[in-house]
A = this chain, B = another copy of it.
């Protein structure tokens, strides 16, 4: 049983989470694993940095004068804070569009204060509050720049999504025709991939040197540097993605996905990491990612200490008293198997 974390109430285990881990280098060698590193996994929002590649490659980013913070927001599952909403609206304005163009739907934002303010003012939730509004603004910018149909940019057959599918296949080294598509929470296609291939993509995002196409190499550098220069755009206050990239000071890029997916790439070792919690619950996810980093030796020289709040999450009761904790428990297996491209 590939348990990755136990949830304790007092000193007894109340619940437990299974999980899968793959650690891969930029050549596609699987170096460490746990559970099933080849598990077919909907990569969800962990693919956002790759979904942003066409925003740069088509020339849309330059044409509309998108700033690094805008590109970072394209890679975000943001908290809906004022800075996120303002920037998403600004991106739409730059390409002559409004919030009405967003096809992402909406949801209660993570930023409680933004939601409370909305209710106090009697205003409704709108699509810009969606954690995906930056990604959608990037997709819209690309479609406007390319002169493509704007109403259907979220459909699988639309050129916006076809370019993304090509980029996902390229970066993950996984054949386009083997990628099963379904629909993400925000209405766009999601990509089902072996977990190790997601890790491989992040190894390439971290070290794109071996990518043949120089324009793609440049686009990747521009996007990932935007993420590490503006990590507050990728998540927000008290969010793991933001805190991880801050703690590593430009060394690591990381992005969570719904249903408890995490992917990161380390520029120093050139390693890519991908994690999936089997049940899709995210409460143990960041503790597991921290523990993978510790076992592989990434960030043990300081950054992981800055991320200590995520290492052993406290379970509190409704009065705020600690009544339990989440503890990781797994040992990565070492390997050196070549993945098939």
Q: Which residues of A contact B (CB under 8 A)?
A: 1, 7, 9-12, 14-18, 40-42, 103-107, 116, 119-120, 122, 130, 180-187, 190, 192, 259-260, 277-281, 317-321, 323-324
Contact = CB atoms under 8 A, between A and B. Distances in A.
Contacts of A277: 15
Contact of A318 (B14, B106, B278, B279): B106
A11 B180 CA distance: 9
Nearest to A8: B182
Contacts of A319: 103-105, 187
Given A120-B119, A279-B16, A317 B105 contact: yes
23 contacts: A1-B1, A9-B183, A10-B182, A11-B182, A14-B280, A15-B260, A15-B278, A16-B279, A103-B319, A104-B319, A116-B119, A119-B119, A119-B120, A120-B120, A120-B122, A130-B318, A182-B323, A183-B323, A185-B323, A186-B318, A187-B321, A279-B279, A279-B281
A143 to B, nearest CB: 18
Contacts of A317: 105, 183-187
Given A9-B190, A317-B105, A42 B18 contact: no
A40 B13 CA distance: 9
A6 to B, nearest CB: 11
Contact of A192 (B12, B105, B324): B12
Given A7-B259, A105-B320, 19 more contacts: A7-B280, A9-B42, A9-B183, A10-B180, A12-B182, A14-B259, A14-B280, A15-B260, A15-B278, A16-B279, A107-B318, A182-B323, A185-B318, A186-B318, A187-B318, A187-B319, A187-B321, A279-B279, A281-B281
A3 to B, nearest CB: 9
Contacts of A9: 42, 182-183, 190
Contacts of A180: 10, 12
A128 to B, nearest CB: 13
A1 to B, nearest CB: 8
Contacts of A320: 105
Nearest to A16: B278
A12 B16 CA distance: 24
Contacts of A281: 279-281
